Amino acid sequence: MILTLKSDSKKQDIDKLTAKIKELGFTPHISRGAVRLIIGVIGEGEHKYKEVFESFDIVESATPIVKPYKLVSREFKKEDSIIDVNGVKIGGPRVVVMAGPCSVDTKENLFACARAVQRAGAHFLRGGAFKPRTSPYSFQGHGVTALKYLAEARKLTSLPVVTEVMDTRQVEVVARYADILQVGARNSQNFDLLKEIGQCKKPVMLKRGMANTIEEWLMSAEYIVSKGNRNVILCERGIRTFEPSTRFTIDLNAIPVIKHLTHLPILVDPSHGVGVRDYIPPIALAAIAAGADGVMVEVHPKPTEALSDGMQALLPVMFDKMMEDIRKVAEAVGKTL
């Protein structure tokens, strides 16, 4: 940690600060620049005390040298983590596609959708049972009933199932039915939920919060991994910006950054990040070209009957075409579908 001191710092205040640094078990390393004094705090775990150093009035800024996350960092583990879900590998040379309805509505629609995406080559079935909705008056999901339908659809198609868990009290029941637990963007910093999921053994897909920096996102992943669950898959789904023509702004820059900083795999969800049916396939292809380990998209056989987000659901015929194109782009960047 580098502490930059204010230019008018007095000796007695500097002494108090260096005393504190030593008291916490670190070595202060003072450099006198042309204009300002800077103090290096040498030792392990200094980033835990960033706020303490910042609370001194003479400290203009405290700049960490070491990343605040550890277990998820590329420095801790050099090789890519590959998450195995019922035999399907996420993070390896094969890109994966998760597809299905935004929320599970009727059993018929779900099964029709599951069969369609399986036929087209999808690897996972997605579908919402517990739905985070901005409005209390919107459809909130069919809950456990939907989980049961998903389990039946898995039997029908052999596709493993990914579905969202919104509350600590739901972790157990969702883990009973699902193959991957999804943490949604609005719960990306619901730390009690992250801890609870960390104690579970099921793979987790952690979406990026719409206002989270990449570093904060990795800290949320660190919450899960530090509790013992190493099977974390990241999912970029768009951040909040000023641009109104799409729901969110997909941050594909995040893909090479994530590949540099962490060993965890990363998927992209263009459906929520773009929000307009026709614009989704190009962004899915872009994600693969940028190096994502896969994509998750929404598909519905009858979008005008969907109980949520129908405007962003691909029709099965569009999904078929997109899968063909994903195959070609994956091969162009040295992967397979």
Residues in 133-152 at the binding interface with its own copies, rule: CB under 8 A:
133-138, 140
C-alpha span between 44 and 41 (Å, rounded): 9
Residue choice 68, 92, 121, 143 for contact with its own copies (CB under 8 A)? 68
Burial grade of 15 (CB within 10 A; 0-12, 13-18, 19 or more): exposed
Residues 280-309 binding its own copies (CB under 8 A) are 282-283, 285-291, 303-304, 306, 308-309
Window contacting its own copies (CB under 8 A); options: 81-89, 105-113, 118-126, 235-243? 235-243
Beta strand 59-63 with 124-126 is unpaired
Beta bridge partners of 2: 40, 63
**CB neighbours (10 Å) of residue 169?**
10
For 161, 186, 199, 200, 249, the CA distances from 192, given in Å and listed in that order, are: 24, 13, 11, 13, 28
Q: What one-character-per-residue DSSP string does 102-131 give? A: SB---HHHHHHHHHHHHHTT-SEEE-BSS-
SS3 of residue 4 by DSSP: strand
Q: Which is nearer to its own copies, 25 or 108 (CB)?
A: 25
Window contacting its own copies (CB under 8 A); options: 53-61, 92-100, 120-128, 143-151? 53-61
Residues 107-126 binding its own copies (CB under 8 A) are none
Q: Which is nearer to its own copies, 120 or 218 (CB)?
A: 218
Answer for the pair 147, 177: CB distance below 8 angstroms, yes or no: yes
Looking at the chain, how many residues does it have?
337
Q: Is 11 in the site for its own copies (CB under 8 A)?
A: no
Q: Which is nearer to its own copies, 69 or 319 (CB)?
A: 69
For 53, 130, 207, 265, the CA distances from 186, given in Å and listed in that order, are: 31, 13, 9, 21
Q: How far is the CB of 194 from its own copies (least distance, A)?
A: 8
Q: How far is the CB of 294 from its own copies (least distance, A)?
A: 15
Q: Is 19 in the site for its own copies (CB under 8 A)?
A: no
Residues 175-194 binding its own copies (CB under 8 A) are 186-187, 189-193
Window contacting its own copies (CB under 8 A); options: 63-71, 81-89, 90-98, 104-112? 63-71
Window contacting its own copies (CB under 8 A); options: 61-69, 87-95, 114-122, 153-161? 61-69
Q: Which is nearer to its own copies, 154 or 259 (CB)?
A: 259
Window contacting its own copies (CB under 8 A); options: 90-98, 145-153, 171-179, 329-337? 329-337
Q: How far is the CB of 181 from its own copies (least distance, A)?
A: 15
Residue choice 31, 145, 199, 336 for contact with its own copies (CB under 8 A)? 31
Torsion, Cα of 218, 219, 223, 229 (10° steps): 20
Q: Is 229 in the site for its own copies (CB under 8 A)?
A: no
Q: How far is the CB of 281 from its own copies (least distance, A)?
A: 8
Residue whose token pair is 């204010």: 6
C-alpha span between 1 and 49 (Å, rounded): 9
